[in-house]
Each structure stands twice: as C-alpha cells, then as structure tokens.
C-alpha cells in the first residue's frame, strides 16, 4: 500500500437537500458529489468497493444512506435549512417562506449553489451536452379554505352591530351573488313593534333599507294611523335579507339559510310584539302552511329561547293591499288588534 493509498479519503462536499435538488436539475448531482479526480485514493477506494464510479452502491440512495427520497419534493424545514446551509439564500432560510411541501416551480433555484465552490466546476461539465435534465415532479399545494361557519352558529353571540356586519358579508345562499345591498333592517331601539316583511324589492336592494318603495310608503301610513313610526317605535326587517332575482318567492334553502338572522334580531331587539306582513313571512315565522285568511284576526305567540312569548299579529302585505285596496279594511282591523293592550 503506497502512502497515497493510506491518505484519508477527502470528505465529499457537504450540500443541503435543496442544493442537491439544484444539482439534480442541472444534471450534475453525481459529478458534483464525486470526489475530485486529483486524489487517487478516491478512485482506488471506489474501485475497491465494487461500486460503479459515480453511482451509489446498491441499496443506497444516490444522496447517501441517510438521504431523503426526492419525490415528491419536500422542502427542508426552516430549521433544517438554517442548520445545514448557513450560506443558503435568505429567502430559503426565512422561516415563513418555506412551506412543508413546495411546488418545484415555486422555488426557483439560483444560478449557482451558494456554497462558494461554483468556480470549481470544470468548463467541460458546465458546457456538457446530453439529454436535458428531467424537470422535477410538480407538487401542487392546495390551500384549503376553512369551511364556512353555518349562519346559526355565527350569529349565536353576535350583538346587533356584529349581526349587521354578518348579514352584509353573508354568502350562505345564492342570493348574495345578485344583490346590490343586503338589507339588515332599520328602525327604533328599544323596539315596541317588530315589523317583518318578506324580502327586499328592487328599491330596497338599491338603497339597503327595508320598505322604501311604494309598499314602504303605504306601510308608513298604516303605522302612522295607529300612532307608530319607524323612527320612534318600530323596527322593520324581512325574513330574507337579500333580494331574490325578479322578486320571485324565496326558496326553502334560502329561507333556511337566512332565518337565523331574523331569530337573532328578535332575541336582541326583544320587541313587545311582532307584526308579520304577508303569507310568506307569516308561514315562516309561525312554522305553518296555513293561509293568511286563516292566520289573521287573532293573536299568535312566538316562544323565544329565553322562554318569553311574544305576541304575533298577521296581516296582509302592503304590496298586496296596493293591488287589492278593498282588503285595506281588514288590514286596518289587524292594526287595531296589534295596537290593543294584549
Ligand atoms: N317587500 C318586503 O317584503 N320587504 C321590503 O323590504 C320591501 C318590499
């Protein structure tokens, strides 16, 4: 054995996993990791081991026995990146810039590994021809949106202000796509009467306030006839907070999605009584499919979660009264019933 043979085998250059990926992409991983040819011991040792120069022994991954498999690309953790590669580019070492699994395209390699050894690459290697390096497999990172919170859960502890913000931001049903404004409600607090209509119409959708069109003018006149005003006594809202396209009837799923807002409004406003206008609102609030003719003319009660019983009076919708003025006499009876000391 010559003194040359006894010389210690130079340690292979230390590179971190990211640098290994760069080298692989450049097609230079094996060449780079090979011990420099100037040290003959390396050649002898490789030959003596029975391994093919430039290839890892069978059963050992090319990156060494402890090297991680490289498919899919798993970026080193920020801690590993800092520990193994002090000279790595800042972006690689920044803790929050390193997701656990990163798409290959998202992590562009710099032109040279940042080891300070780039100048040692022989020109013959840099200029070599051959098949282009295989692109690393892409790993798509799917950012999963958190599941939406159901309306009933979201409104549970909301105050009126928070509730209004939730309604304005609501996307619990398809009606949010066509709305200009969600219409939360408007009126007096403390609230003597809560008036509940069906859903915003075109004017309400434009202005963001309930009952502002012709129906609203009639409603104000009806309320004034029993000494009530929306500024002083009445809070006005709807079962559905967004306008259904073309003023169509709301669908059951839209009612189900929206009604927790109304229930929370009732719980917070604690009205002395509720005047429900129109078949749709009455059926929704009272949980019945009875007709208006059946429901009006008597006092119903809505049981709150706190165990209170709020009197509910059903009457015709102002839009119906505009079309059927002869029914105004009955509506007047309903208002007088609502205004009575109950
Ligand atoms: N009709 C309703 O039911 N509500 C409104 O806000 C306007 C018209």
Distance 137 CA to ligand 1 centre (A): 57
Residue 9 included in any domain: no
Pocket test residue of 167, 196, 198 for ligand 1, highest count of atoms within 8 A of CB: 198
Check residue 16 and give left, alpha or beta (phi > 0: left; psi -120 to 50: alpha).
beta
Residue 119 included in any domain: no
Residue 279 included in any domain: yes
> What's 41-71 look like in SS3?
HHHHHHHHHCCCCCCCCCCCCCCCCCCCCCC
**Which DSSP string do the residues of 225-293 spell out, in sequence order?**
HTT--TTTTEEEEESSSSPPGGGPPPPHHHHHHHHHHHHHHHHHH--SEEEEESHHHHHHHHT----HH
Distance 159 CA to ligand 1 centre (A): 24
**Closest to 184 measured CA to CA, from 267, 261, 276, 270:** 261
The answer to whether 249 and 280 have CB atoms below 8 angstroms apart is yes
According to DSSP, residue 304 is labeled -
Which regions of the chain are under pLDDT 70?
Answer: 1-15, 22-23, 25-26, 28-130, 342
Whether 316 lines ligand 1, by a CB cut-off of 6 Å, is no
Residue 237 included in any domain: yes
Say how many domains are in the chain. Answer: 1
pLDDT value of position 279? 95
Q: Which atom of ligand 1 is nearest to the CA of 277?
A: 3
Whether 211 lines ligand 1, by a CB cut-off of 6 Å, is yes
Q: Within 10 A of 128 (CB to CB), how many other CB atoms are there?
A: 12
The answer to whether 193 and 273 have CB atoms below 8 angstroms apart is yes
For helices 328-339 and 214-225, the axis angle rounded to 10 degrees is 50
Distance 43 CA to ligand 1 centre (A): 89
Sequence-separated (6 or more) residues with CB below 8 Å from residue 155: 163, 166, 260, 261, 263, 264
Residue 126 included in any domain: no
Residue 27 included in any domain: no
Specify the length of the chain in residues: 342
Q: What CATH number should be reported for the domain holding residue 242?
A: 3.40.470.10
Q: Which atom of ligand 1 is nearest to the CA of 317?
A: 3
The pTM assigned to this predicted structure is: 0.60
**Closest to 297 measured CA to CA, from 327, 259, 262, 263:** 327
pLDDT value of position 175? 98
For helices 160-169 and 252-269, the axis angle rounded to 10 degrees is 160
Which residue's CA is minimally distant from atom 7 of ligand 1? 211
CA dihedral 272, 296, 304, 281 (to 10 degrees): -110
CA angle 102, 105, 109 (to 5 degrees): 95
Pocket test residue of 195, 207, 210, 277 for ligand 1, highest count of atoms within 8 A of CB: 210
The answer to whether 197 and 317 have CB atoms below 8 angstroms apart is yes
Tokens representing 326?
Answer: 């002869």
Strand 273-277 and strand 299-303: pairing?
unpaired
pLDDT value of position 256? 95
> Which domain does 229 fall in, by range?
151-341
Whether 280 lines ligand 1, by a CB cut-off of 6 Å, is no
**Closest to 175 measured CA to CA, from 81, 258, 97, 94:** 258
Cα 136 to Cα 17, 23, 100, 287: the distances in Å are 14, 11, 16, 60
For helices 279-286 and 252-269, the axis angle rounded to 10 degrees is 70
Q: Which atom of ligand 1 is nearest to the CA of 318?
A: 1
Q: How far apart are the first and last CA of the chain?
A: 114
Residue 328 included in any domain: yes
Residue 185 included in any domain: yes
């Amino acid at each position: 054995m010559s003194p040359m043979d006894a010389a210690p085998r130079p340690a292979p250059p230390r590179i971190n996993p990211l640098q290994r990926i760069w080298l692989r992409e450049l097609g230079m991983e094996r060449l780079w990791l090979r011990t420099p040819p100037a040290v003959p011991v390396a050649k002898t040792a490789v030959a003596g081991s029975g391994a093919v120069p430039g290839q890892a022994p069978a059963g050992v991954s090319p990156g060494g026995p402890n090297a991680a498999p490289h498919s899919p690309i798993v970026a080193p953790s920020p801690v590993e990146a800092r520990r193994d590669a002090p000279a790595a580019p800042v972006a690689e070492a920044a803790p929050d810039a390193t997701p656990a699994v990163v798409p290959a395209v998202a992590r562009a390699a710099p032109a040279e590994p940042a080891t300070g050894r780039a100048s040692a690459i022989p020109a013959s290697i840099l200029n070599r021809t051959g098949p282009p390096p295989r692109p690393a497999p892409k790993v798509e990172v799917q950012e999963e949106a958190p599941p939406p919170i159901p309306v009933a859960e979201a409104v549970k502890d909301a105050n009126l202000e928070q509730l209004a913000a939730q309604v304005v931001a609501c996307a619990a049903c398809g009606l949010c796509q066509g709305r200009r404004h969600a219409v939360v409600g408007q009126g007096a607090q403390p609230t003597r009467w809560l008036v509940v209509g069906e859903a915003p119409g075109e004017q309400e959708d434009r202005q963001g306030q309930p009952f502002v069109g012709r129906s609203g003018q009639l409603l104000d006149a009806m309320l004034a006839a029993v000494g009530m005003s929306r500024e002083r006594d009445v809070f006005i809202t709807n079962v559905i907070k967004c306008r259904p396209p073309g003023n169509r009837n709301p669908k059951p799923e839209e009612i189900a999605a929206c009604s927790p807002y109304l229930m929370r409004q009732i719980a917070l406003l604690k009205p002395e009584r509720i005047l429900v206008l129109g078949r749709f609102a009455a059926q929704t609030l009272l949980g019945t499919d009875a007709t208006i003719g059946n429901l009006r003319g008597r006092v119903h009660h809505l049981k709150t979660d706190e165990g209170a019983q709020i009197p509910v009076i059903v009457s015709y919708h102002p839009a119906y009264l505009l079309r059927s003025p002869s029914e105004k006499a009955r509506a007047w009876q309903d208002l007088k019933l609502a205004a009575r000391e109950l």
